[in-house]
């Protein structure tokens, strides 16, 4: 710029009295002058300018900051091979666009430069130039490449346009005006273009700039380069898609809602900082947020939510919102049919086929622009007709292709991806159009029927059936569940009770098979299916049905209670009996969602759906989200657990609390931990931080192992009978249920909330604890209703009595009422199971309801307060909506890990240091360990890893100080020493003993005496 002699022009007058020097270059090329300190005042200075938007309108009397004849010379900087530093160049064009004359001149040059392709033989001073400039002071000989010149210039210009449109609404107004012949010829004269280009200019006057931009989408450069297409579409998105924040603000003003969403500031600090370093890069959603929405400015403190008083001057944010609202309407009105069709065809084109992120971004923005055009009603019919035409053609082609495909030799195709793109756009088009055309029938199902989309779903069903994939469960936990075992039952009975076939099935050396090529090709079709069949309507119907049932039940209970007040139960006042099939039923009646087309598809094709999710877990957060929300029972435990852990990790990253340091006494671990972690001292957010534990009187330093020991020891203390918080269920020593008489402990409810926190924290941190609960209690954690069948694990003898009642006629045999009696510390209490229950007899007709109510009383109502406080603590750490993905068996595995310790699995996931698998000591070690009982194996696991629980993915999922860390055996010297362990690293130091007998003796002694506590050997 110094060589161009333009220094004296860098002064912009923003008023009669005020001047502001923008940027000057020092002799060494560094920024100098006011505002040169890294553009640190960019935010405040721009806010000051934008507060005076009217000063920069076309009719403003402001001194021109730069001769218009200098604009072509400045534009030549865009064609340097080595790009000029982004921040000062961006700043320069921003300052030039503040003035109406230089703004118009700059934008006209930009438009011409991106619309025209450089011609061979152009004059040296023409724009676009005949070659890229090697530098201001010369350099290498110029290389002539018209494609490169157009690509470099277009990308830099579009990036500048995207930046300017986010900051200056006046730049958007330029694109809503028709080009004028005289001004365009002046621009061309300044560019010294060749005669051929001047003849091409005859087509430009009278056209609107927005149409010229849209027609660029048919050019080879933008069809072949996703990067250039993304920049162009980010500009079009800013011009044609109403800012989300602006729409919300307008809605708030119209309705007077005080809680409307607030838009981001016109010049955000983050954007300013980014612009000082590099040109902003469009993002997939960015078009709504980056290119326009995020810069639609509301007033601070929510002032944008209420219209300003008549006497108040609108703020810069309000001015910007109003201008953009007007600009969008004007641009939609001047769009030509040819331009809209060009956008539709760009969306429906095949693309490169490689599915890059940039390509997905630009197609996403093209779809959002079409949806905005349809929502404005200006081009709804045209967009809908063109997309439906393409959709019908794709359905026919895909059907024919699927009939010829082989499962293992399917060729890649872009038809399915194009189909998904069109379906998504059409769904949004109908959704937005229906908001403003409520009086018209815009049922998308009718239009899709015309395109024969349902026949395509039939073809998809048949093709998925042809795959005939065998189900392979990759982890021991998934295989255990697939066999229908209850984890706690396996633990109680022991692995010796399992058949040889079952044990082989649960072996851990099974690997998942990757999806077949055809399944990957069908993925876009399955995604499209979930777009059109997402289960939302059926789920809403389910909710209404449940509400209606609750209402009817309340009415029946009220009628029965009133009748009981007059006389004892007779055939005329008996409550409506429940159908026999609902009593002790493990499976509830199918919901509307499960019976729908969506539900049937999920159940029928569960295997291919899970194979795709295992291959690409991110599908559950995107296109397969309806499957996760409405039909989680069709997902494998491994897939649900992977999604669950990813969501917890993201929540933990949002928490910035420091490490929680606990100092506890091993003998008082429950009370010490309670006092340091109770709700009065730690919030739920704080509890998501890392815990570091120190046992008093022990030398162990917590690098992971001491924490695992703390979880194990605390889990055992939770069930200490001295606290009276839980009772053993069904006479089994390993299964527990809240104690109805826990109130004997004054702080029992606070303890239950603390225990809920501990269990939630263990789930959150991925630690398995030895805590087994009843089926009913697991269902309470999941927010599901208990059924009489759950009573079997809680009280088998009482369950048998109820089962006898159900199977036999109890007339004149059993004399019961709808009430429950209990003996609490020698005091008899009677509790009504329903209003007036103690006066209502149980008969053969209403015994089904009695069984249901008695089951609910024993497993829920008698311990309701304890359950509520436990759940309160649990949900402070782990959200209820995430836990609800699992069933009760899966939740037990998530909390407690695998019930059986598989030595072969441990052996397959062991690393050796200074030993080999063939070493004598290693062979003796595995032989001795395989002869241990399950209790001794648990002791060994506690001794070596700090926990007696096996992760749900088997021993390959062991976690150490550095994350996932396998079990390892290290050689130690000294045949008279005991084995030692480093639980933070899952490491066993095994001395080189001289015989198997010595190894057995030392190992048994070590695990028996050293599975608890820490010290230096």
pLDDT in tens, 112-134: 888 877 766 666 667 777 777 76
Q: What is the pLDDT of residue 867?
A: 93
Among 113, 47, 539, 508, smallest CA distance to 299 is for 47
Confidence band of 835 (pLDDT split at 50, 70, 90): confident
Q: Is residue 258 predicted with pLDDT exceeding 60? A: no
Question: What length does the chain have?
Answer: 1017
| 800/820 Cα distance (integer angstroms) | 17
Mean pLDDT of 1006-1017: 55
Asked if residues 761 and 773 have their Cβ atoms less than 8 Å apart, the reply is: no
Q: What is the mean pLDDT of residues 141-170?
A: 82
Distance (Å, rounded) from C-alpha 592 to C-alpha 687?
A: 39
**Mean pLDDT, range 438-458, rounded to an integer:** 73
Whole-number Å distance between alpha carbons of 656 and 686: 8
987 beta partners = 968, 982
**What pLDDT score does 882 carry?**
92
Asked if 858 and 791 touch (Cβ cutoff 8 Å), the reply is yes
Which H or E element spans position 694?
A: strand 691-695
Q: Is the pLDDT of residue 195 over 50?
A: no
Q: Which of 97, 348, 634, 984 is catalytic?
A: 984
Q: Which of 70-79, 550-559, 757-766 shows the lowest mean pLDDT across its residues?
A: 550-559
Does 298 have pLDDT greater than 90?
no
Model confidence at 308, pLDDT cuts 50, 70, 90, reads very low
For 321-334, the DSSP string reads: HHHHHHHHHHHHHH
Considering only residues 511 and 944, tell me which one the structure prediction assigns the higher pLDDT: 944
Backbone angles phi, psi at 966, to 5 degrees: -70, 160
- State residue 242's pLDDT score: 85
Tokens of residue 70, six digits? 């200098």
Residue 781 has what pLDDT? 92
Long-range contacts of 335-340 (CB under 8 A, 24+ apart): 335/208, 335/210, 335/211, 335/214, 335/373, 335/378, 335/379, 336/208, 336/211, 337/382, 338/211, 338/215, 339/210, 339/211, 339/214, 339/215, 340/214, 340/373, 340/379, 340/382, 340/383, 340/386
How far is 708 from 983, CA to CA, in rounded Å? 8
What is the helix, strand, coil percentage profile of the chain, to 5? 60, 5, 35
User: Which has the higher per-residue pLDDT, 466 or 329?
Assistant: 329
- Beta bridge pairs of residue 133: 80
What is the average pLDDT value for the chain, to the nearest integer?
74
* C-alpha to C-alpha distance for 661 and 690, rounded to whole angstroms: 9
pLDDT recorded at residue 264 = 30
Q: Could you report the per-residue pLDDT of 770-829, keeping only the tens digit for each?
A: 888 888 899 999 988 888 888 887 888 888 888 888 888 888 777 888 888 877 766 788
373 or 512: which carries more pLDDT confidence?
373
Whole-number pLDDT of residue 753 = 92
Whether the pLDDT of residue 44 is over 60: the answer is no
Residue 81 — very low, low, confident or very high, per pLDDT cuts 50/70/90?
confident
984 flagged as catalytic:
yes
Distance CA 437, CA 384 (A): 14
Percent of the chain at pLDDT > 90 equals 9
Tell whether the model's pLDDT for residue 4 goes beyond 60.
no
pLDDT, position 699: 66
Q: Per-residue pLDDT for 741 more than 80? A: yes
Angle between the N-to-C axes of helices 453-467 and 597-604, in degrees from 0 to 180, rounded to the nearest 10: 20
Cis peptide before 313 (omega within 30 of 0): no
Instruction: Give the per-residue pLDDT at 738.
Output: 92
User: Is the predicted pLDDT of residue 740 greater than 60, yes or no?
Assistant: yes
- What's residue 295's pLDDT? 36
> What pLDDT is attached to residue 486?
66
Per-residue model confidence (pLDDT) at position 306: 46
The contacts of residue 449 (CB under 8 Å, 6+ apart) are none
Q: What is the mean pLDDT of residues 294-319?
A: 49
pLDDT greater than 80 at residue 47: no
> What are the pLDDT digits (tens) for 911-932?
888 888 888 888 888 888 888 8
Tell me the whole-structure pTM to 2 decimals: 0.75
Q: List CB contacts of 606: < 8 A, sequence separation 6 or more.
A: 634
Q: How many CA atoms lie within 13 A of 311 on its CB side?
A: 0
Of 253-267, 291-305, 392-406, 490-504, highest mean pLDDT: 392-406
Share above pLDDT 70 across residues of the chain, in percent, rounded to a whole number:
68
Categorize the per-residue pLDDT at 188 as very low, low, confident or very high, splitting at 50, 70 and 90: low
The pLDDT of residue 509 is above 60: no
Residues 6+ apart with CB under 8 A from 569: 563, 839, 840, 841, 843, 846
Q: Which one is predicted more confidently, 46 or 19?
A: 46
694 confidence band (pLDDT: 50, 70, 90): confident
Q: Higher-confidence residue: 946 or 438?
A: 946
Burial 505-543 (b: 16+ CB within 10 A, else e): bbebeeebeebbbbbbbbbbbbbbbbbbbbbeebbeebe
Residue reference for tokens 């350099």: 139
User: What average pLDDT does range 417-430 have in this prediction?
Assistant: 89
**623-677: per-residue pLDDT in tens?**
999 999 999 989 988 899 899 989 988 877 766 677 788 888 888 889 988 888 8
More confident of the two residues 303 and 515? 515
Could you tell me which residues come within 8 angstroms of residue 115 by beta carbon, excluding any fewer than 6 positions away?
Answer: 204, 212, 216
* 538-547, 768-777, 940-949: range with lowest mean pLDDT: 940-949
SS3 sequence of 487-539: HHHHHHHCHHHCCHHHHHHCCCCCCCCCCCHHHHHHHHHHHHHHHHCCCHHHH
| Per-residue pLDDT tens over the stretch 869-908 | 999 999 999 999 999 999 888 888 888 887 677 788 888 8
> Is 608 a residue whose pLDDT tops 60?
yes
Residues 720 and 717: their CA atoms lie apart, in Å, by 5
Beta bridge partners of residue 830, listed in sequence order = 821
251: confidence class by pLDDT, cuts 50, 70, 90: very low
Could you tell me the pLDDT band of residue 868, with boundaries at 50, 70 and 90? Answer: very high
Confidence of residue 357 (pLDDT cuts 50, 70, 90): low
955-987 b/e (C-beta count within 10 Å ≥ 16 → b): bbbbbbeeeebbbbbbebeeeeebbbbbbbbbb
Instruction: Please report, in angstroms and rounded to a whole number, the separation of the first and last CA atoms in the chain.
Output: 74
């Amino acid at each position: 710029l110094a060589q161009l002699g333009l220094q004296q022009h860098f002064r912009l007058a923003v008023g009669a009295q005020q001047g502001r020097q923008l940027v000057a270059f020092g002799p060494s090329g560094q920024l100098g002058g006011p505002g040169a300190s890294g553009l640190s005042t960019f935010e405040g200075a721009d806010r000051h300018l934008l507060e005076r938007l009217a000063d920069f309108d076309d009719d403003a009397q402001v001194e021109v900051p730069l001769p218009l004849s200098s604009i072509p010379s400045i534009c030549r900087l865009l064609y340097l091979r080595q790009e000029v530093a982004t921040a000062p160049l961006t700043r320069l064009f921003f300052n030039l666009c503040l003035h109406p004359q230089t703004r118009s001149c700059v934008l006209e040059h930009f438009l011409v430069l991106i619309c025209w392709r450089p011609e061979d033989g152009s004059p040296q001073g023409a724009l676009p130039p005949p070659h890229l400039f090697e530098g201001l002071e010369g350099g290498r000989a110029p290389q002539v490449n018209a494609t490169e010149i157009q690509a470099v210039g277009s990308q830099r210009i579009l990036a500048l346009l995207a930046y300017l449109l986010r900051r200056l609404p006046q730049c958007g107004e330029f694109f809503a005006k028709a080009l004028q012949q005289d001004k365009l010829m002046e621009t061309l004269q300044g560019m010294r273009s060749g005669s051929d280009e001047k003849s091409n200019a005859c087509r430009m006057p009278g056209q609107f700039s927005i149409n010229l931009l849209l027609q660029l989408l048919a050019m080879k450069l933008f069809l072949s380069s996703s990067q250039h297409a993304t920049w162009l579409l980010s500009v079009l998105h800013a011009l044609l898609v109403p800012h989300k924040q602006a729409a919300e603000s307008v809605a708030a003003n119209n309705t007077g809602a005080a809680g409307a969403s607030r838009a981001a500031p016109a010049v955000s600090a983050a954007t300013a900082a980014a612009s000082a370093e590099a040109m902003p890069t469009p993002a997939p959603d960015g078009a709504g947020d980056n290119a326009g929405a995020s810069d639609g400015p509301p007033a601070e403190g929510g002032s944008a939510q209420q219209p300003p008083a008549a006497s108040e001057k609108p703020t810069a944010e309000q001015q910007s919102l109003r201008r953009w609202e007007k600009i969008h309407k004007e641009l939609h009105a001047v769009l030509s049919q040819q331009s809209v069709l060009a956008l539709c065809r760009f969306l429906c084109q095949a693309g490169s086929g490689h599915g890059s992120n940039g390509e997905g971004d630009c197609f996403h923005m093209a779809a959002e622009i079409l949806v905005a055009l349809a929502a404005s009603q200006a081009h709804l019919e045209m967009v809908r007709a063109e997309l439906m035409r393409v959709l019908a053609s794709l359905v026919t082609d895909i059907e024919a292709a699927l009939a010829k495909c082989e499962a293992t030799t399917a060729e890649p195709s872009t038809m399915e991806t194009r189909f998904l793109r069109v379906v998504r756009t059409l769904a949004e088009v109908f959704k937005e159009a229906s908001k403003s055309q409520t009086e018209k029938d815009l049922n998308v199902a009718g239009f899709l029927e015309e395109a024969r989309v349902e026949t395509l779903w039939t073809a998809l069903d048949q093709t998925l059936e042809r795959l005939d994939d065998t189900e392979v469960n990759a982890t021991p936990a998934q295989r255990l569940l697939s066999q229908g075992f209850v984890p706690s039952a396996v633990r109680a009975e022991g692995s010796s009770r399992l058949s040889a076939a079952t044990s082989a099935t649960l072996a851990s050396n099974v690997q998942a098979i990757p999806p077949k090529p055809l399944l990957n090709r069908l993925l876009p079709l399955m995604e499209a299916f979930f777009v059109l069949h997402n289960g939302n309507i059926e789920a809403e119907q389910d909710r209404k049905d449940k509400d209606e049932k609750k209402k009817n039940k309340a009415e029946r209970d009220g009628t029965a209670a009133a009748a009981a007040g007059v006389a004892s139960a007779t055939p005329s006042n008996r409550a409506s009996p429940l159908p026999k099939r609902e009593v002790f039923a493990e499976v509830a009646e199918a919901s509307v969602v499960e019976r729908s087309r969506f539900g049937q598809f999920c159940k029928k094709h569960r295997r291919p759906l899970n194979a795709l999710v295992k291959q690409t877990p991110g599908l559950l957060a995107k296109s397969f989200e309806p499957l996760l929300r409405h039909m989680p029972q069709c997902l494998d435990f491994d897939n649900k657990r992977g999604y669950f852990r990813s969501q917890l990790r993201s929540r933990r990253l949002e928490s910035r609390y420091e490490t929680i340091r606990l100092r506890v006494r091993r003998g008082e671990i429950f009370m010490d931990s309670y006092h340091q972690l109770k709700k009065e001292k730690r919030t739920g957010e704080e509890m998501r931080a890392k815990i570091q534990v120190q046992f008093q009187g022990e030398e162990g330093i917590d690098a992971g192992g001491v924490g695992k020991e703390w979880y194990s020891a605390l889990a055992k203390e939770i069930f200490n009978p001295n606290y009276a918080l839980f009772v053993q269920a069904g006479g089994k020593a390993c299964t527990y249920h809240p104690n109805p008489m826990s109130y004997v402990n004054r702080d029992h409810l606070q303890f239950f909330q603390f225990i809920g926190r501990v269990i939630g924290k263990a789930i959150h941190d991925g630690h398995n604890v030895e805590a087994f609960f009843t089926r009913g209690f697991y269902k309470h954690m999941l927010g599901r209703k208990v059924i009489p069948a759950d009573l079997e694990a809680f009280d088998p003898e009482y369950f048998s009595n109820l089962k006898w009642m159900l199977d036999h006629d109890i007339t004149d045999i059993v004399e019961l009422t709808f009430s429950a009696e209990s003996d609490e510390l020698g005091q008899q209490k009677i509790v009504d199971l329903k209003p007036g229950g103690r006066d209502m007899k149980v008969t053969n007709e209403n015994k089904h309801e009695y069984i249901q109510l008695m089951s609910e009383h024993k497993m829920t109502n008698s311990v309701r307060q304890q359950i509520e406080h436990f759940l309160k603590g649990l949900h402070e750490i782990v959200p209820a909506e995430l836990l609800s993905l699992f069933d009760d068996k899966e939740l037990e595995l998530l909390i407690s890990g695998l019930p059986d310790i598989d030595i072969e699995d441990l052996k397959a996931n062991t690393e050796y240091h200074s030993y080999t698998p063939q070493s004598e000591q290693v062979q003796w070690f595995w032989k001795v360990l395989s002869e241990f009982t399950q209790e001794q194996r648990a002791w060994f696991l506690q001794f070596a890893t700090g926990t007696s629980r096996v992760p749900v993915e088997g021993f390959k999922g062991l976690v150490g100080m550095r994350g996932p860390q396998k079990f390892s055996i290290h050689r130690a010297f000294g045949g008279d020493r005991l084995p030692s362990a480093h639980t933070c690293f899952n490491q066993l130091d095994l001395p080189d003993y001289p015989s198997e007998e010595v190894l057995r003796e030392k190992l048994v002694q070590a695990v028996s005496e050293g599975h608890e506590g820490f010290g230096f050997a």
